[in-house]
Amino acid sequence: MKFWEKMGKKKNGGREPELTPLEKRLAEKAEKEENEANAPKGPKSLKEAVESISELEDRLLRLTAESGNYRKRVAREKEEARLFANQSFIEKLLPVMDNFQMALDAAKDADPAVRDGVEMILRQLKGVLQESGVEEVDGLGQIFNPEFHEAVSQEEVGDVEEGTVVQQLRKGYRLHERLIRPASVVVAKRPAAESEETGS
């Protein structure tokens, strides 16, 4: 009743105020609201306290798990960025490798010094790429695998199993186990006459 006491003192020169029933109810209500506002917040019973603690523990565990997952994801993304930072540069070098290989194939009958020079340059380039984590994907003689091979055409071959890679037109490459270019291959299929015999 602090508010009403102050008002009464002012009105009555310091004497206790005479309050009407309405003023008393208003004063009690104001005092109750003031006490509730100043009352400490928290559980009102042991059961509420235990429930509150349990809820806070659950929240802490969830936040800890989320934080751990976030840290792992950031570390994984950072490692991937480090491993594949030069992927686009390597992809631009692959046609250069192809051209050196074609030059070496064409230089079989050329001057041995020229052929050896081209071979040495190709070996150096392959070594640099291997140090960067690049591996060749060789499909020749293997069963066609769409994860690593790109079928350019099919060829009728009777002496190998259908679906076998019989010719490799362009090598494929992986960077740290990630395919950056599939091998372009020609795949064997059964000869037409043989297919008709088995179909009838």
Q: Tell me: the pLDDT tens digits for 42-96?
A: 677 888 888 889 999 999 999 999 999 999 999 999 998 888 889 999 999 999 9
Tokens of 187: 């795949």
Q: Is residue 129 part of a domain?
A: no
**Domain residue limits at 163:** 136-200
What is residue 173's three-state secondary structure? strand
Q: Quick one: which of 142, 150, 135 has its CA closest to 94? A: 135
Q: Is residue 68 part of a domain?
A: no
Report the distance separating Cα 186 and Cα 120, nearest Å. Answer: 29
In this structure, which long-range contacts are made by residues 35-38, counting pairs with CB atoms below 8 Å and at least 24 apart in sequence?
none
Cα-only R_g, the chain: 42
Q: Is residue 144 part of a domain?
A: yes
Q: Is residue 171 part of a domain?
A: yes
Q: Quick one: which of 130, 132, 136, 126 has its CA closest to 83? A: 132
At 135, which helix (H) or strand (E)? Answer: strand 134-137
| pLDDT confidence of residue 74 | 94
Strand 149-156 relative to strand 172-175, pairing? unpaired
Q: Is residue 167 part of a domain?
A: yes
Q: Is residue 185 part of a domain?
A: yes
Give the mean pLDDT of the chain: 84
Q: Is residue 65 part of a domain?
A: no
Q: Is the pLDDT of residue 151 over 60?
A: yes
State the average pLDDT over residues 115-132: 91
Report the distance separating Cα 100 and Cα 91, nearest Å. Answer: 15
- Structurally, the chain folds into a number of domains equal to 1
Using a cut of 0.75, tell me whether the model's pTM lies above it: no
Q: Is the pLDDT of residue 31 over 60?
A: yes
Q: Is residue 89 part of a domain?
A: no
pLDDT band at 194 (very low <50, low <70, confident <90, very high): low
List helix spans (H) across 41-183: 46-83, 87-106, 112-131
pLDDT band at 131 (very low <50, low <70, confident <90, very high): very high
| pLDDT confidence of residue 23 | 81
At 152, which CATH number? 2.30.22.10
